[in-house]
Structure 1
Amino acid sequence: MGLTELIKNGVVITNLEGDCKEEVFKGLYNELYKQGKVKESFYEGLIKREEVFPTGLLLTKHNVAIPHTDVEHVNSSCIAVATLKNPVTFQCMEDSDKSLEIRIVFMLAMAEAHSHIEMLQKLIMLIQNEVVLENILRAQNKNEVIEQINQVYESLSV
């Protein structure tokens, strides 16, 4: 399954409100859980993994976070995307002592172990495009977010 299909299969929330990463995780988790995409243990799995392996990525203009957890917490592979109304602090993936202000979250819920790496590679190609990130932040709904990703997807063949 490609990147766009995984996002279509997941949830997209624009202007999600949350004061901390745990609230952002909870908002996305609740929607994924309601749809049966993840198990009840998914949220705790995210929190525990984030403590050990931070997921904030320092980029040129718009930092992003790519939280995920182990496959045993997932029923059906998908990606949840959230644009945040206000920036939320995440620790940097490369330096956990460094805090980053995040406004875009791509939460991976992969049911197969090998698929995390492949999706991370595809997301990295996507998030290197600052114009796309800007457009995703401006998007008002799921369709607009998917449209922005589709444009990049088609040009990169990811």
Structure 2
Amino acid sequence: MEPIELELTLNGITMPVLVLWDLPVTTKDELFTRVHEELLRRDQVRPSYLNGVKEREQRYPTGLDFGAFAVALPHVDFEHVLRPALVVALLREALPFQAMDDPTRQHLCRLAIFPVLTSGEAQLAFLQAVTCALQQPGFYERFIALQTPQEISVCLQEMLQIAVNED
């Protein structure tokens, strides 16, 4: 499937969302490179983004275990970002990501969500929104079964709305 481009609003900031569905990558390096190329083409990040995301993932792993599934939330320091964006990648095959809470463990992640944000406040709000939504019964299963850009957009908006309603 070709990349899907949408828009979402988080904390009053409207940002582009790039959805990479059924992505046929076999390594994290391949995934990070693909995301970097897509963001660079859209002038969202600096050329340093690729090394930044790899280095940060090495230092601060982002694999999150939700019990029946795991999700990766790779992100970078702000100096690599030109304009806020979000990348949602549903991988054809799950990739191993080190656990955020214990780097000696790995989680197989089929969903990788890349917040490309310019402030700590926005990043924290987004990470809370994602974590909150993924804890909702059935949300992950419903999300990975989506087929159309419209369905994906509605579900992403719902994800952000869940977090707002939890506050």
Q: Same fold (TM over 0.5)?
A: yes
Query: 1:43 Cα shift?
Result: 0.9
Rate the CA distance shift 1:118–1:90 in 2: closer, same or farther, 3 A: same
What do residues 60-84 of structure 1 show as CA deviations (whole Å, max 9, x unaligned)?
Answer: 2221000001101001111110111
Matched residues in 1 for 2:130 and 2:162: separation? 14
Contact 2:130 2:159 (8 Å CA) reproduced: no
State yes or no: 1:115 paired with 2:99.
no
Higher mean C-alpha deviation, range 16-25 or range 81-90: 16-25
Q: Figure out how many residues of one structure are paired with residues of the other and give that number.
A: 157
1:3-37 deviations in Å (ceiling 9; x for gaps)? 7x76x612111111111112111112211111111
User: What CA distance in whole angstroms lies between the structure 1 residues aligned with 2:148 and 2:80?
Assistant: 27
Q: 1:14–1:139: 8 Å Cα contact kept in structure 2? A: no
In the alignment, structure 1 residue 63 sits paired with structure 2 residue 73:
no
- Structure-1 residue corresponding to 2:18: 11
Alignment check: 8 A CA contact 2:10 2:122 kept? no
* Pairing of 1:9-158 with structure 2 (within 5 A): 9-157=16-164
Task: Say what the alpha-carbon RMSD is for the aligned residues.
Answer: 2.0
Higher relative contact order (Cα pairs below 8 Å, separated by 6+ residues):
1
Q: Please give the TM-score of this superposition, normalised by the length of structure 1.
A: 0.89
Q: What 5-or-longer segments of structure 2 have no aligned partner?
A: 1-8
Aligned residue type for 1:47:
K
Partner of 1:114, secondary structure, is helix
Amino acid at match of 1:49: R
Matches of 1:14 and 1:96 in 2, distance apart?
27
Deviates more, 1:23-32 or 1:146-155: 146-155
Measured in 1, the distance between the counterparts of 2:58 and 2:78 equals 18
Quick check: which one's strand share is greater?
Answer: 2
Residue 156 of structure 1: how far off its partner (Å): 4.4
TM-score (normalizing by structure 2) = 0.85
Q: Percent identity over the alignment? A: 24
Unaligned runs of 5+ residues in structure 1 are none
